[in-house]
């Protein structure tokens, strides 16, 4: 479990409604997609390193991230 998963929103510097909505949407993603997004956008790892950590191919990792972003977009538009 990462700090991202255990800290409350204000400890992460999240105070605005949009930030809290994003955190909630991230929590609703499937675990594998959430982890791929966390590694890419919160940690800043390239696809190749994310793939290695997840035990997936680089292509699969890019698909996971792409699907996660589409889901986040849908969730946040509601």
In the three-class reduction of DSSP (H, G, I as helix; E, B as strand; rest coil), residue 63 is classed as helix
Domains by residue range for the chain, with CATH: 3-77 (1.10.10.10)
Q: What is the pLDDT of residue 12?
A: 57
In sequence order, the 6+-apart residues with CB closer than 8 A to the CB of 76 are: 21, 22, 25
pLDDT per residue as tens digits for the range 19-73: 778 888 999 999 999 999 999 998 999 999 999 999 999 999 999 999 999 999 9
Listed in sequence order, the DSSP H helices in 1-78 are 3-6, 17-27, 31-37, 47-54, 58-77
């Amino acid at each position: 479990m990462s700090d991202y998963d255990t800290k409350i929103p204000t400890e992460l510097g999240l105070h605005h409604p949009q930030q809290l909505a994003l955190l909630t949407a991230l929590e609703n993603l499937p675990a594998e997609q959430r982890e791929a997004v966390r590694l890419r956008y919160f940690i800043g790892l390239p696809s190749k390193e994310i793939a290695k950590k997840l035990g997936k191919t680089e292509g699969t990792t890019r698909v996971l991230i792409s699907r996660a972003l589409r889901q986040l977009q849908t969730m946040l538009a509601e």
